[in-house]
Amino acid sequence: MSFKTILVPIEQHDRMNATLETALLLARKFDSYVEGFALRVELPTAFAVGDVAAVPIPALEHDIAENEQRGRSLFENFMQAHGVPRGADAKALSSGWLDNAPEGDHFVGSHGRLFDVIVLGKPGRDPQGPRMTTLEAGLFESGRPVLIAPPSPQPQMGTNVLIAWNCSTEQARTTAFALPILKRASRVVVLTVEGGAAVPGPTGQQLCRYLQLNGVPAKPLTVALDGRVTGEAVLAHAKALGCDLLIKGAYTQSRLRQMIFGGTTRYILSNADLPVLMAH
């Protein structure tokens, strides 16, 4: 697998530029094709009037058309400004726009099955910003990894990588997805948080052996919680090591449990300031 095809849902919010910058960092590494489409919240498209059949709402249809045009302009202007040509070129960096994408976050998951990775902004508290429902649609419905862009653009990505190893199936899958990036990295650290959230499974040293056999310069590192939650320890060491990408399996615990009690995935989604590659 390589990251030759990248999907970037486009919305009008302050983090969109950082999302596009993150997608472009990855695309330049693999001479990828980057596709954008206008992401819109699923809304009722008709009202029932008296005894007659439901009719479309012209004002809503107009807003939808304007939103798509704004999204297309944002995407194409960005690509043009960064020298990315239009067209689906299998051998060179290129870009394209998908017209008339269906509404709703579910399309992120279904259309995302045709791409090597989906790039999304990090969800936050701003109701007008990236939404958790969009991210979860990508994670749970596409079968593909999701690259979560930080709030601010980064100068580089994938040269100094941290793998947050918790022995889980989700983490193993995410690490396998990340192999094309890991093989190009200058440094890869497999982090084990002793006493942190984990499941029974192979050790960090064993994962390093697997990665080394695949041409990845991986080294193990075991750290203590020191009174922190696991996600806090992971991000603290990512920062201390100067990492520019975090590889993290998503939701080893259930979404409901993490929503109620918190969890490593939720903590990292709320607090990461570097790109995070996730998969479930």
Cα dist from 259 to 79, 166, 267, whole Å? 37, 20, 10
d(CA 241, CA 236): 9
Cα dist from 161 to 53, 187, 222, 264, whole Å? 57, 6, 15, 18
Q: Is the pLDDT of residue 262 over 80?
A: no
d(CA 142, CA 110): 6
Please check whether the domain covering 160-279 is classified as CATH 3.40.50.620: yes
**What pLDDT does 119 receive?**
98
- Could you identify the residue written with the tokens 């590494």? 29
d(CA 214, CA 176): 10
Give the tens place of pLDDT for each residue, 135-182. Answer: 999 999 999 999 999 999 999 999 999 999 999 999 999 999 999 999
Q: Where are the domains of the chain?
A: 5-149, 160-279
Average pLDDT of the chain to the nearest whole number: 90
Query: Using an 8 Å Cβ cutoff, are 142 and 279 in contact?
Result: no
- Could you identify the residue written with the tokens 């819109």? 40
**What pLDDT does 253 receive?**
56
Going along 110-244, which residue ranges are E strands? Answer: 117-121, 146-149, 160-164, 187-194, 218-224
Which two tokens mark 129? 């910003």
Query: Using an 8 Å Cβ cutoff, are 71 and 12 in contact?
Result: yes
- Report helix, strand or coil for 248: strand
d(CA 264, CA 231): 5
Residue 216 is classified by DSSP as -
Give the tens place of pLDDT for each residue, 239-252. Answer: 999 999 999 999 86
d(CA 208, CA 223): 16
Geometric angle at alpha carbon 98, from 153 and 103, rounded to 5°: 90
> Among positive and negative, which fits the CA dihedral 127, 115, 170, 193?
negative
**Reported confidence tier of residue 124, pLDDT bands at 50, 70, 90:** confident
Strands 276-279 and 245-249: parallel
Q: What are phi and psi of 205, to 5 degrees?
A: -65, -40
Mean pLDDT across 19-23? 98
Domain 5-149 matches domain 160-279 at the CATH topology level: yes
User: If 0-12 CB within 10 Å is exposed, 13-18 middle and 19+ buried, where does residue 124 land?
Assistant: middle
Q: Is the pLDDT of residue 259 over 60?
A: no
C-alpha closest to that of 18 among 125, 179, 129: 129
Give the tens place of pLDDT for each residue, 45-103. Answer: 444 444 555 545 566 666 778 889 999 999 999 999 999 999 987 789 999 999 999 99
d(CA 136, CA 253): 14
Q: What are phi and psi of 125, to 5 degrees?
A: -85, -15
Name the least confident of 120-129, 205-214, 220-229: 120-129
Fold of 5-149: Rossmann fold (3.40.50)
CA 69 from centre of chain: 24
